[in-house]
Chain A
Amino acid sequence: MKIADKDIPAILVALVIAVIPYWLRLPIWITAWALFFWGYAFQTTYRNWPLPKPWLRQTLIPFGLLGVLFSYDWALAGDTFVGMLAIMVSLKPLEIRTHRDKMITVFLSYFIILTHLLYDNSFFIALYMLVSVCITTAVLIHINHTSAGMPAHLKLSARIMIQAFPLTIALFILFPRIQGHFWGVFNPAAERTGFSERLSPGDISSLAQDNAIAFRVDFHGNIPAPDHLYWRGIVFWYFTGQSWERGNRAPTRQSPFLGTETVQYTISLEPHDKRWWFALDLPEFAPRRVRLLDDFSLTSWRRVTVRTVYTLRSHLAFHTGPLRFWEAAALELPPQGNPKARALAQDWWRQNREPEAIVAKALSFLKENGFGYTLRPTLLEGDSIDDFLFRTRNGYCEHFASAFAFLMRAAHIPARIVGGYLGGERNPFGNYLIVRQSDAHAWVEVWLPKTGWTRIDPTSAIAPARVQQGSAAALPPAERPIYLSSQYLATLYRYWKPVQFAWDRVNTGWNLRVIGYSRSQQQELLTSGEIMGASVKRILIGLLFLSAAIAMGLGVFYWGLRKSDLIQTERVQRAYEIFCQKLARTTRPRRPEQGPVDYGRQVAGERADLAQRVAEITALYVRLRYGCGGNEGDEKRLQSLVKGFKPGKKRD
């Protein structure tokens, strides 16, 4: 018969806690698979269920792995490996027999914790990581030292963790970083929302309900007015008849761009797995290893797979100069299609060739013909521009931008579509902007002889609230997010919002200081003694406070540990020793071999005045120490008697 192994439930707890952050990410069947086998492993210890035979386990593993490959469409990407890891880890507890198996499973648990950090670097996950490491370490202690209870192990594990903090922080600051990679990276976060090389109707409206953060912006000064917060990302030059494409014609800009109304800001860009970087209007120059194209969009050599922090200087007022020869692409249209729209634009052009007049006519056309701003537009058929302009007449920003740019080109005005974000939410706790995927937007830039490339946002003509209050407020009431449509939820949301902002502030600080700590900052810190504006002095003071806090925490832990760790007999012994020490000042000390009763008699002989109290303490001690344990009250009484025992000076 198998003897139940009490370590297995503890190991299972550590594994479950390590894997919990994955459960939203993994296919549901892998979660079910893991829970099933872990539940079974649990039952083998508690109900003595038989362990599956080795051949069964060895058959299950390949099936599980095939299942993972199938779930991920046979792609060998990061998610697939994580899924495979989950499959193998879920079967591991069923083959735990020896101490070695247990140790390896605990190490695996640490490894799982690590792999999750490839997906998520938030402050919350860091806290979760600490908790998870603490529990896993407690299990590690448990399998090496079973007799004490789990609470004591957790305490010890937390204590060791606190003791490890100074070394950890020192290593973190000083450990040499590398630039680039040792080997190729697979990107575990392959499925990101955001812009692609092509803009089709429906692309941006699909982002509208995605509350994920695109980037955060910290202005080195005042935040510009909302109608200036157009974050340019990608410029679409080519119209295929259905969608707009970016193409590759824009050359790298050779000279810095100069305008007026300069703003400087730092963007912390979330990974979106594409090459574009976002900038406010027209950036003056590109950050290192990024190209500033002649259409003022920024592209990096590498995909943005990790959070990236960069500082830019932009100009809000400018003149881009004459139209360059390659920018003739801004007039190209497919030879056929959308005849009604073409005819309309030609009409305007014939009436008045002044570009500004044509732009105004187009805007008023959109304003006056009952166009609606909606997330759920009627499906377009046939010639999409014609269908939109003359039949459905409702859509999201990409519909308006696309139709407007088409009309402009048909009226011989150079036009291009810009994809990016509009607006952002100001965080009152840190005075920075949070720009979300739901702020994604598309607008048009036309080239006018007087002003050069000029931004025209046709959406603002139909839904002015979009610019001032964000996309949610501009939508018709039925399409607004639920937290804005229900009275009750709206109240709740008002209270929730500050919490969210405060949390984002903490996270942002975390991202800037800890996650964003890089080789260059390390060098900066080590050479100039400054890092991101914080001097070494400030850091040292911070570390001092931190270590004081750690010392205090340690003291509390240590004290708590000593108190609870001594068993009753030891505490009793200790009290009696104190009693003897007190007596030794006034009478002959107790000889090592002298029993307590004998000693009590001796003291009574020397100091008759103490006899009664000594007898009481001795009797209590003998009962607690040599009797059947005594009870709580006896021990407390002994402690208080010893504490209050004051033999005084010896009288002659």
Chain B
Amino acid sequence: MQAYTIRGKGIRFRPTGYGVLFGVVVAAMTLGSLNYNNNLGLLLAFLLGGMAMASLLHTYNNITGLQILSMAARPVFAGETAVYELQVCAEALPKRSILFSFQQSEAICQDMITRLPRRLSLRIPADQRGWHNPGPLRVETRYPFGLFRSMMYISLNIHCLVYPKPIPGPFAAVQNYALSGSQGGKELPGMDDFKGLQPYLPGEPVEHIYWKAFSRGQGLQIKQFVEPAGTVIVFDWNSIKGVHVEHKLSRLCDAVLKAHRFNLFYGLNLPGKSIPPDAGNTHRQNCLKALALFQTSISPVIT
């Protein structure tokens, strides 16, 4: 996404409850001073009123020029908390006491935002699989007096992918069958036979790191296991017993996670969508995404 800078348009001003109370106090002071013909009292009342007006300017300045550099959310499983990570900074002058929130999240207060980008995360519980829409981001400040709030809703169109909640169950419930054709006879990454050591590349499962070699000063190496060639598994929608769609998805989700953990070569077969067998992180994400978005109508455009 592009950096979003808050500008004058769309900023809403409201007095807070305290602002209204303060107004009442100043009005009472004015009336009382007029009644007593007390010019110094009037001066005080006008000074307080003038200061409230001047503070409005500060409240306004405190929100304009605030930049939202980026916002992103890692996919989560249903029942977990979606974490939206924002990067914010101030265009020129520092901003103070800015509250960030979504409608359902708790507000996060940043005491001071300077030109240096600052990261903050907003948490919303994600209960349903699919795209989680946090709604517009609400940016609010009551600085300096707490008498006025300037507030802006920003639609950033960022969504969080929510995978189905994995429900553990027997792994055997899926159907095994042989892979045909060109891939026959190839060694595929698996979990059964130890093949040897290889230099570690970022992204490979950490649990495969051969720590003993690391402790001997030989650098990070991973133990490689292979699957006897030709064995792949495909998780099929119809092989899961039950009628409840969500339950089936959860079971499939669990199967995908386990297969990935065991570094298996697996595929996914859903009504209307099938993913050919493969392995690796991207494949896992594709499978989980297919499960997450199964039969959902919402398909947000991600910029």
Contacts and interface: CB of A to CB of B under 8 A. Distances in A.
Interface in B3-35: 18, 21-22, 25, 29-35
Interface stretch (B48-56, B183-191, B224-232, B254-262): B48-56
A144 B146 contact: yes
B46 A172 contact: yes
For A103, A182, A517, which residue has the most chain B Cβ atoms within 10 angstroms?
A103
A137 B47 CA distance: 11
A118 interface: yes
B150 to A, nearest CB: 14
Contacts of B53: 164, 167
Contacts of B31: 182
Interface string A134-148: 000100110111111
A61 interface: no
B39 A107 contact: no
A178 B39 CA distance: 12
Given A140-B145, A171-B50, A163 B44 contact: no
A141 B51 CA distance: 12
Given A114-B32, A144-B144, A565-B94, A514 B51 contact: no
Contacts of A172: 39, 42-43, 46
B144 A168 contact: no
A103 B41 CA distance: 21
B144 to A, nearest CB: 5
B47 A103 contact: no
Tell me the interface secondary structure of chain A in the complex. Answer: helix
B40 A125 contact: yes
Given A129-B40, A566-B94, 16 more contacts: A103-B21, A107-B21, A110-B48, A111-B29, A113-B44, A117-B33, A133-B48, A133-B51, A144-B145, A163-B57, A168-B50, A172-B42, A172-B43, A182-B31, A306-B36, A514-B39
A177 interface: yes
Nearest to B30: A175
For B30, B31, B36, which residue has the most chain A Cβ atoms within 10 angstroms?
B36
A274 to B, nearest CB: 18
A168 B36 contact: no
A272 to B, nearest CB: 16
Contacts of A165: 47, 50
Given A117-B40, A141-B144, A156-B144, A178 B34 contact: yes
Interface string A543-573: 0000000000000000000100111011001
A145 B96 contact: yes
B46 A137 contact: no
- Top 7 nearest A-B pairs (CB, nearest first) are A164-B50, A144-B146, A147-B111, A167-B50, A163-B54, A171-B46, A168-B50
Contacts of A107: 21-22, 25
For A111, A117, A121, which residue has the most chain B Cβ atoms within 10 angstroms?
A117
Interface in A156-192: 156, 160-161, 163-168, 171-172, 175, 177-178, 181-183, 185
Interface stretch (B112-120, B151-159, B239-247, B292-300): B112-120
Interface in B129-185: 142-146
A125 B65 CA distance: 41
Contacts of A573: 115-116
A642 to B, nearest CB: 17
A521 to B, nearest CB: 11
A225 B146 CA distance: 61
Contact of A121 (B38, B51, B112): B38
Contact of B41 (A118, A137, A177): A118
Contact of B143 (A145, A168, A574): A145
B58 to A, nearest CB: 7
Contacts of B142: 144
For A161, A168, A566, which residue has the most chain B Cβ atoms within 10 angstroms?
A168
B97 interface: yes
Nearest to B45: A114
Given A140-B146, A565-B94, A573-B115, A177 B25 contact: no
A502 interface: no
Interface in B70-89: none
A147 B41 CA distance: 33
A285 B177 CA distance: 122
A114 B41 contact: yes
Contact of A514 (B33, B36, B40): B40
> What size tier do the contact residues of chain A reach?
35 or more
A177 B35 CA distance: 9
Interface of B: 18, 21-22, 25, 29-51, 53-55, 57-58, 93-94, 96-97, 111-112, 114-116, 142-146
B36 A175 contact: no
A61 B261 CA distance: 70
Tell me the interface secondary structure of chain B in the complex. Answer: helix
A519 to B, nearest CB: 9
Contacts of B21: 103-104, 107
Given A164-B53, A182-B34, A517-B39, A148 B47 contact: no
Contacts of A143: 146
A145 B144 contact: yes
A523 to B, nearest CB: 15
A166 to B, nearest CB: 8
A168 B46 contact: yes
Contacts of B32: 114
B287 to A, nearest CB: 33
B40 A167 contact: no
Nearest to A516: B39
B42 A114 contact: no
15 contacts: A104-B21, A110-B25, A114-B29, A117-B41, A117-B44, A156-B144, A160-B58, A163-B50, A167-B53, A168-B50, A172-B42, A175-B30, A182-B34, A566-B94, A570-B114
A175 B46 contact: yes
Nearest to B31: A182
A50 B112 CA distance: 34
A126 interface: yes
A472 interface: no
A311 interface: no
Given A164-B53, A168-B43, A168-B47, A103 B34 contact: no
Contact of A141 (B22, B35, B114, B145): B145
Nearest to B142: A144
Given A164-B50, A566-B94, A177 B34 contact: yes
Contacts of B94: 565-566, 570
Contacts of B112: 147-148
A125 B39 CA distance: 13
A123 to B, nearest CB: 10
B115 A103 contact: no
A137 B145 contact: yes
A7 to B, nearest CB: 12
Contact of A118 (B36, B43, B50, B116): B36
A515 B37 CA distance: 9
A140 to B, nearest CB: 5
A517 B146 CA distance: 34
A193 interface: no
Nearest to B18: A103
A518 interface: yes
Contacts of A574: 115
A139 to B, nearest CB: 11
Given A117-B41, A167-B46, A168-B46, A137 B51 contact: yes
A566 B93 CA distance: 9
A133 B42 CA distance: 14
Interface string A98-135: 00000110010011011001100100011001100100
A145 B111 contact: yes
A160 B36 contact: no
A578 to B, nearest CB: 13
Contacts of A515: 39-40
Nearest to A152: B96
A181 B144 contact: no
For A140, A565, A567, which residue has the most chain B Cβ atoms within 10 angstroms?
A140
Given A514-B43, A567-B114, A569-B116, A182 B35 contact: yes
